[in-house]
Amino acid sequence: MLQGLTDKLTLYLDPKEVDRIERAYHFSEKCHLGQMRQSGDPYITHPLAVANILADMRMDHESLMAALLHDVIEDTGVTKGQISRRFGRTVADLVDGVSKLGEVASASRAEQQAESFQKMTLAMSRDIRVMLVKLADRLHNMRTLGVLSPEKKRRIARETIDIYAPIAQRLGINDVRLEFEDLGFAAMYPLRHRRLREALKASRKNRKEVVSEIHQSIEMRLDKEMVKVKVKGREKHLWSIYLKMREKKKSFRDIMDVFAFRLIVDNVDDCYRALGIIHNIYKPVPGEFKDYIAIPKANGYQSLHTVLVGMHGVIIEVQIRTTEMEAMANFGIAAHWEYKTGNSNIATSQKKAARWIQGLLEMQQQAGNSLEFLEHVKADLFPDEVYVFTPKGQIVELPLGATPIDFAYSVHTGLGNRCIACHVDGELTPLSEPLKSGQKVEIVSAAGAQPNPNWLNFVVTAKARSAIRHFLKNQQHDESVDLGKRLLDQALSNLGTSYNKLKKSQIKMLLKETGAPTFEFVLQQIGLGNRVPFAVANLMVPVNKRKIVEDKKNSNLPVVIDASEGLLVQYGRCCHPIPGDPILGHLSPGKGLVIHHESCRNLKEIRRFPEKCMPLVWSSVVEGEFAVELKVEVTPERGFIAALAARMTEEDATIEHISVDERDALTSIVDVVLTVKDRIHLADIMRRARSLKPVRKVYRVKNK
């Protein structure tokens, strides 16, 4: 079994390195002795097949040793330390990086997979070869899915297409990606796969003559112009045909009407010469030329792409690249591996891969748990890019649909957090507008600015999403702790003490009674509305130490509301309280403090639980914009809505919603939700609205 692998290795590795690989094989064979695969084959056939896949990529000897040993920690009694002593620390780290985590009894399958992927990502950040071994391992598992149950086949195939195929693409290993997708398609949709495969086979016979004619005309013309070229007919693979049929609602015939060719030349100059020559043979389709040589894709892929109209009106897709670019397109970062040459100059693709992995590491640190991290990684494995420029002319690669916010976070997390506006090609542009290739983007930032939770509705990069969520989580934590302190202080004042007078012994007693890990955690839970402050105060102050509060003015002191926006302070949409209104708050689990107008009828039920209600008062310096609802009774008149909206915006109000309800031929009720600063600001707006001739009545909706 080993001879086939050895024959491959002797073609490009030193005899000493081949010997080390053979030692690893014999050790692995001994460890797996007696173990069988579900197919009935000896287990060693799997590590050997994984090593063969990596040998085809011409990977270095340490990767091949890790491939042969990749299951010994997981499936045998061998430890990482034993591998390190026998084969070196590097090989041991690679093997450990590929190994799954031990089963966690309480975790679901999804959590276990996410935890293992997270562990592998950390190992990959230290050595990218961890992922290459894992991809080879997954590829052999996909090739041998046949013996598994249909349900298990579909689950593994879905995971492969969702995660491992895009990773292979991101690392530029196109051959592996195509095989992942084809095998995954066959496992998930066997009937569709079989029908498409048969249709593709039949279409080849019909297309043979046309393909041969185009092939010859290109080859002869380039040969005449002294350009050495190898012309290949490029076959569309089944998964991409299926996706195009499904997404573009096209028939198989429509997709197969396109003929695809690849031209392999000696150097970059010949790429552009060949492009000019074939544009002379066939007419190019405007707007369909892409130069990935000047601006390579995120995974390092380089090629010229053009679309032509051939004889009889057939569409011809052509890719032009050098031999080196062809190797890069098929094997990605494995095509010119730094370890096998000892060259310290890492290739462009490896630099891009390193940048991507560094981004994964940042996401991993910011994610709340492994499932959230895996969700971010999936979002980041995008197939299409747009290329935009910084003000200094540097190229930034972003996924299709990316916005200025995504751009800001791709430059630096701090810039994203402080972003307030942007200029695209010198013009002020909404932060939610998708960017297009070739645009110059300049971010306007401010020192005190913060991410807006609404950004999560339109950002597309995982880095932006995870950074925004991370910031908001920290902000929510800080706000909930601060609010918890204020609410507990109010509850303690009713027992004759205060937050500042608490002793360590009282805090220790509270933690013992509640089982909470820290006092800060308790404060956070109070702020989130998950614990009642009066109950916590009762636990901290024993009955015999409570004081009767003589001064009723100091008992039940109101909590001061001094922030217009906050993740833990929310305003009831039923009554829309604004500064100047008498207000009352109640704690809602998970939401924190919800503020209502004191006369809101929704408080009737809540008042039955006085321990959850609390008096509130607006700060004298509260700033911001607050939503309020108005009803305007009018006599219908042409252009009235525009006139009313203009009056309100003249008073510096922002209209969030406006609708009209016709009562009868003479009366309409206009419902307006707008933002105001306080009651005085609202009074000015209402007075301006009343001055309009058609207005009969303006009143505020308070849900009484």
Q: HEC string of 327-382?
A: HHHHHHHHCCCHHHHCCCCCCHHHHHHHHHHHHHHHHHHHCCCHHHHHHHHHHHCC
- Find out whether 6 and 18 touch, Cβ atoms under 8 Å: yes
- Find out whether 449 and 419 touch, Cβ atoms under 8 Å: yes
Strand duo 427-429 + 419-424: pairing: antiparallel
CATH fold of 192-331:
Beta Polymerase; domain 2 (3.30.460)
Give CA torsion, residues 694, 697, 702, 704, to 10 deg: -140
At 570 the three-state DSSP class reads strand
- Domain segments of the chain: what residues? 2-99+129-170, 192-331, 350-466, 470-609, 626-700
Instruction: Determine the pLDDT at residue 45.
Output: 92
Q: What is the CATH number of domain 350-466?
A: 3.10.20.30
With b meaning 16 or more CB within 10 Å and e meaning fewer, what string describes 379-404? bbbbeebbbbbeeeeeebbbbeebbb
Dist CA 563 CA 660 (whole Å): 33
Locate 382 and state its tokens.
Answer: 């995008």
Over its C-alpha atoms, the chain yields an Rg (Å, rounded) of 33
DSSP 451-478: --GGGGGT---HHHHHHHHHHHHHHHHH
Of 410, 512, 501, 420, residue with least CA distance to 460: 410
Which residues does 108 contact at the CB level (< 8 Å), separation at least 6?
A: none
Region at 623 (left for phi over 0; alpha for psi -120 to 50; beta for the rest): beta
Instruction: Indicate the length of the chain as a whole number.
Output: 704
At 251 the three-state DSSP class reads coil
Instruction: Determine the pLDDT at residue 248.
Output: 78
Q: Which residues are catalytic?
A: 74-75
Instruction: Determine the pLDDT at residue 370.
Output: 57
- Side-chain-side CA neighbours of residue 604 (13 Å): 5
- DSSP β-bridge partners for residue 587: 593
Instruction: Determine the pLDDT at residue 236.
Output: 74
Instruction: Determine the pLDDT at residue 524.
Output: 84
Dist CA 626 CA 579 (whole Å): 8
Instruction: Determine the pLDDT at residue 434.
Output: 92
Locate 480 and state its tokens.
Answer: 């909930």
Instruction: Determine the pLDDT at residue 132.
Output: 85
Dist CA 376 CA 18 (whole Å): 40
Q: Which amino acid is at 62?
A: E
Dist CA 577 CA 571 (whole Å): 7
Sign of the C-alpha dihedral, residues 460, 461, 462, 463? negative
Residue 137 — φ and ψ, nearest 5°? -60, -45
At 549 the three-state DSSP class reads coil
Dist CA 69 CA 48 (whole Å): 9
Laid out side by side, the sheet with 559-561 consists of 559-561, 613-618, 583-588, 592-597, 569-571
- Find out whether 461 and 398 touch, Cβ atoms under 8 Å: yes
Report, in this order, helix, strand and coil percent for the chain, each rounded to 5: 55, 15, 30
User: Which residues does the chain have with pLDDT short of 70?
Assistant: 1, 100-125, 206, 256-257, 298-299, 331-384, 546-559, 562-568, 590-591, 611, 704
What CATH class is the domain 2-99+129-170? Answer: mainly alpha
Q: Which amino acid is at 456?
A: L
Report helix angle 238-247 to 190-224, nearest 10: 110
Which residues does 442 contact at the CB level (< 8 Å), separation at least 6?
A: 390, 391, 422, 423, 424
For residue 624, the tally of other CB atoms under 10 A from its CB is 13
Dist CA 197 CA 201 (whole Å): 6
Which residues does 195 contact at the CB level (< 8 Å), separation at least 6?
A: none
Residue 608 — φ and ψ, nearest 5°? -70, -15
What CATH class is the domain 626-700? Answer: alpha beta
At 627 the three-state DSSP class reads strand
For 117, the enclosing helix (H) or strand (E) is helix 109-126
Instruction: Determine the pLDDT at residue 104.
Output: 36
Tell me the pLDDT tens digit for each residue of 570-607.
788 888 899 888 988 887 776 678 888 888 888 887 78
**Is it true that 350-466 and 626-700 share their CATH fold?**
no
Q: Strand locations in 400-529, DSSP E?
A: 419-424, 427-429, 441-445
